[in-house]
C-alpha cells in the first residue's frame, strides 16, 4: 500500500462523567512506507488509543488518518471491518493466544477467517513460524512456550495475511531483557518495503532503531481518588497473578494471603499480609506483571494508593520486614 498520513488528529472522551480528557490533541504526522514508528509515553498518555484509531477500532473526535489510498476516518462500518482484516496486523501486549490451540493453529486463525483452505493456511503458518524462529515449536500450546516465544507467535499471527500496517502495543512489557531485545529486533526487520510498523511503548531500547519517534505527554485527567477503601469478603481476589496495574494496597483490617496460583510459579506462600502491611508496590512502580495472587483470608479492608500517593504517605518502600518473606507481589 503506502504511506501513513495523520492530520490534526484529536481524540477526546469523558471518563466517569467528569471533565473531558484529550489524550491526542492536533497530532499531524507523515510516515513513509518501510518505516518503524515508536510512540513513547507513560501509561495513560494515549498510546493505545492512538493505535486503536490507526487500526480502525476507535474513531477519533476529529482529524484525518490516511493509509495509502484509504482514508480510514471516512470509512463506514463494513469498510472498516474489511480494512482491519486486509490492512492491519495487531500484536497485543497480552499475546491473546488461544490456550487450547497450538502455535501453528493460533497463526492459522486469521487465515481460516479469511477463507483459506486448511492446507494453504497450514503451509502459510509454518512459513511464518519459521520466519520468527519457531519452526520447532509448531505443535506447542501457549502454556508450553516462554513469554518471548508466545510474543513471536503473536507476531507471526499478525503477519498471517501479510498486512502492510503492523500495530504493536507494548510488545516487550511482559518479557525479560533478552526476550524483549529479540522482539525489538524482529519489529525492526518487519518495517521494510511497503510495510509500516507502529509500536506503542515506554521501553526506550527500541528508540535507536526507530525511523520516527512520537513523544506523547501525560493528559491532564481529573484527579483519581488516591486513598480508596476496598472491602473484601472471604476468598475475594484483590490482585491476580500475571496482571499489571498501577495501585498499591495497604491492609487496614483483617488479613490477605499473597501466594502464586500454581506451584510452578513460585515457592508456595509468600506472605500473610495483616494491618499496615501492603501488597502490589513492586509491580506498580516498575510496571511488571504480578508474581502472585492476593486474596482475603476472611473479611478484610484495604486502602488503595497511586504510586505517588504511596510514596508521599510512606516514603520509599522498606525492605521486606521478614527474611525470606517478601511483601511485594
Model pLDDT, residue 290:
65
Contact 221, 15 (CB under 8 A): yes
Model pLDDT, residue 182:
81
Range in 51-65, 112-126, 194-208, 274-288 the model is least confident about: 274-288
* pLDDT reading at 263 higher than 70: no
Sheet holding 278-279, edge to edge: 228-232, 300-306, 247-253, 278-279
140 against 241, higher pLDDT? 140
* pLDDT reading at 243 higher than 70: no
Q: Which three cell numbers stand for residue 117?
A: 483452505
Give the mean model confidence (pLDDT) for residues 28-51. Answer: 89
* pLDDT reading at 168 higher than 70: yes
Range in 8-17, 27-36, 90-99, 301-310 the model is least confident about: 301-310
Q: What are the tens digits of pLDDT across the range 110-143?
A: 999 889 999 999 999 999 999 888 999 999 999 9
* pLDDT reading at 169 higher than 80: yes
Contact 69, 2 (CB under 8 A): yes
Q: What are the tens digits of pLDDT across the range 301-329?
A: 887 777 666 666 665 443 333 223 334 44
Q: Which three cell numbers stand for residue 267?
A: 515457592
Backbone φ and ψ for 52, nearest 5 degrees, come out as: -65, -35
Q: What are the tens digits of pLDDT across the range 137-157?
A: 999 999 999 888 998 899 999
* pLDDT reading at 226 higher than 80: no
Model pLDDT, residue 300:
82
Nearest alpha carbon to residue 120 among 91, 160, 166, 88: 160
- Domains of the chain by start residue, with CATH: 4-215 (3.40.50.300), 228-314 (2.60.120.10)
Mean pLDDT of the chain, nearest integer: 80
- Model pTM score: 0.64
Range in 167-176, 202-211, 219-228, 263-272 the model is least confident about: 219-228
Q: Which three cell numbers stand for residue 148?
A: 518471548
Distance CA 58, CA 12 (A): 11
Contact 197, 191 (CB under 8 A): yes
**CA distances, 245 to each of 94, 170, 241, 285, 320 (Å):** 13, 14, 11, 10, 21
* pLDDT reading at 261 higher than 80: no
* pLDDT reading at 61 higher than 70: yes
Distance CA 88, CA 82 (A): 10
Model pLDDT, residue 328:
43
Amino acid at each position: 500500500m503506502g504511506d501513513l498520513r495523520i492530520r490534526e488528529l484529536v481524540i477526546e472522551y469523558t471518563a466517569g462523567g467528569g471533565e473531558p480528557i484529550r489524550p491526542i490533541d492536533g497530532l499531524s504526522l507523515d510516515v513513509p512506507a518501510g518505516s518503524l514508528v515508536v510512540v513513547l509515553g507513560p501509561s495513560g498518555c494515549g498510546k493505545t488509543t492512538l493505535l486503536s484509531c490507526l487500526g480502525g477500532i476507535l474513531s477519533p473526535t476529529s482529524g484525518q488518518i490516511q493509509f495509502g489510498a484509504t482514508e480510514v476516518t471516512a470509512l463506514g462500518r463494513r469498510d472498516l471491518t474489511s480494512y482491519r482484516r486486509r490492512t492491519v496486523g495487531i500484536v497485543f501486549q497480552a499475546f491473546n493466544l488461544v490456550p487450547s490451540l497450538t502455535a501453528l493453529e493460533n497463526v492459522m486463525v486469521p487465515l481460516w477467517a479469511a477463507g483459506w483452505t486448511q492446507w494453504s493456511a497450514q503451509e502459510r503458518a509454518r512459513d511464518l513460524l519459521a520466519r520468527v524462529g519457531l519452526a520447532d515449536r509448531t505443535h506447542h500450546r501457549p502454556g508450553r512456550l516462554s513469554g518471548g516465544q508466545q510474543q513471536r507467535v503473536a507476531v507471526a499471527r499478525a503477519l498471517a495475511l501479510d498486512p502492510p500496517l503492523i500495530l504493536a502495543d507494548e510488545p516487550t512489557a511482559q518479557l525479560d531483557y533478552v526476550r524483549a531485545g529479540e522482539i525489538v529486533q524482529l519489529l525492526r526487520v518487519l518495517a521494510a518495503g511497503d510495510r509500516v510498523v507502529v509500536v506503542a511503548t515506554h521501553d526506550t531500547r527500541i528508540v535507536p532503531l526507530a525511523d520516527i519517534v512520537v513523544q506523547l505527554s501525560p493528559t491532564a485527567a481529573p484527579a483519581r481518588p488516591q486513598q480508596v477503601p476496598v472491602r473484601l469478603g472471604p476468598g475475594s481476589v484483590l490482585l491476580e497473578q500475571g496482571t499489571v496495574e498501577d495501585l498499591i494496597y495497604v491492609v487496614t483490617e483483617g488479613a490477605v494471603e499473597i501466594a502464586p496460583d500454581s506451584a510452578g510459579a513460585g515457592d508456595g506462600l509468600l506472605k500473610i499480609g495483616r494491618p499496615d502491611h501492603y501488597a502490589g508496590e513492586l509491580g506498580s512502580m516498575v510496571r511488571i506483571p504480578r508474581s502472585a495472587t492476593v486474596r482475603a483470608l476472611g473479611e478484610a479492608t484495604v486502602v488503595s494508593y497511586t504510586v505517588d500517593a504511596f510514596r508521599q504517605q510512606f516514603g520509599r518502600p522498606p525492605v521486606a520486614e521478614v527474611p525470606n518473606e517478601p511483601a511485594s507481589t
